[in-house]
Amino acid sequence: MSSVIDLLKSHKSIRKFTGQKIEPELFDILIDAGQAAATSSFLQGSTIVRITDPRKRREIAEFAGNQPYVETAAEFMIFCADLKRAGNYCEAYEKPFEGDFTEHFIIATVDVALMAQSLVTAAESVGLGICYIGGIRNNPGPVSELLELPKGVYPVFGLCLGYPDQDPEIKPRLPRSVILKQEVYNEEGDPEAIAEYDDLISEYYRTRTGGGHGITWSEQVSTLLSEKSRPHMKKFLVEKGFKFR
Ligand SMILES: Cc1cc2nc3c(=O)[nH]c(=O)nc-3n(C[C@H](O)[C@H](O)[C@H](O)COP(=O)(O)O)c2cc1C
């Protein structure tokens, strides 16, 4: 199998880092690798804000629900969906700005995810570890203020990057039959396959937590979807200029 496929299949989030810095040349290479990802309509609707100031890191770690690796990672960046940069040229070319449709929001958010994941793959290929930080959306307003994000730009997630100081087990994914369908969507065989997967995940959690909780996948995600999730996001995004027309 190709080494790239092996690399992709060995991904695991890293939440404990050594103090080793990332060389500036390598950092630039990783950014370039991220930027090479495909981008919808060539919009290039992503902006990365790199955070080096320890005080800002501390604040963001708190905003994200006290996630200490935001402070301890060698690098921490916030990936932003950015419709402002392109939108500036509507005015410059004397065209009306119509860049606040739901479709534009999807385009920019997808762009951000693709860029980040290419950067992540590049980072993991040179032995670095990563952890995405969606927790910043607990407090998108304060995070945006801290980063001085203008209208048309919103913080999608953070990313911790550094040399791993832990080697966790790979977290098993759903069986292929559950996520890959032929021609049409159907749920045939899913309950049985997911029941088996539940046992696997329960065992994974039991091992990882030293005999502690052994929650199943289905129980975990049912809780997630039974609770309101960051209900402030819609209002925040509308105020940021994403009107969802
Ligand atoms: C967009 C996104 C946001 C995430 N946010 C967080 C986070 O705030 N804190 C955290 O510890 N992990 C976060 N994660 C990591 C997931 O929990 C992790 O990817 C998932 O449990 C699967 O584990 P693995 O990455 O080790 O395979 C995030 C992942 C993604 C893709």
Kindly report which listed range (12-26, 39-53, 163-177, 208-222) carries the lowest average pLDDT score: 208-222
Contacts of 5 (CB under 8 A, 6+ apart): none
Work out the burial of residue 55: count CB atoms within 10 Å of its CB; fewer than 13 is exposed, 13-18 middle, 19 or more buried. Answer: exposed
Over the stretch 104-156, which tens digit does the pLDDT of each residue have? 999 999 999 999 999 999 999 999 999 999 999 999 999 999 999 999 999 99
Q: How confident is the model at residue 1 (pLDDT cuts 50, 70, 90)?
A: low
Whether 20 and 102 have beta carbons less than 8 Å apart is answered as no
- What SS3 state is found at 161? strand
Q: How far apart are the CA of 12 and the centre of ligand 1, in A? A: 9
CB-ligand 1 contact for 140 (6 Å cutoff): no
Query: Which atom of ligand 1 is the closest one to the Cα of 64?
Result: 8
Identify the pLDDT of residue 82. 98
The DSSP code for 48 is: E
Q: Is the dihedral of CA 77, 135, 148, 245 positive or negative?
A: positive
Query: In this structure, which residue's CA is closest to atom 3 in ligand 1?
Result: 134
171 has a pLDDT exceeding 70: yes
CB-ligand 1 contact for 122 (6 Å cutoff): no
Over the stretch 63-107, which tens digit does the pLDDT of each residue have? 999 999 999 999 999 999 999 999 999 999 999 999 999 999 999
Query: What b/e readout covers 59-85, taking b as 16+ CB neighbours within 10 angstroms?
Result: bbbbbbeebebbbbbbbbbbbbbbbbe
38 phi and psi angles, rounded to 5 deg: -60, 150
Query: In this structure, which residue's CA is closest to atom 1 in ligand 1?
Result: 134
CB-ligand 1 contact for 67 (6 Å cutoff): yes
Q: Is the dihedral of CA 106, 47, 7, 221 positive or negative?
A: negative
pTM of the model: 0.97
Taking all residues of the chain, what is their mean pLDDT, rounded to a whole number? 97
Q: How confident is the model at residue 55 (pLDDT cuts 50, 70, 90)?
A: very high
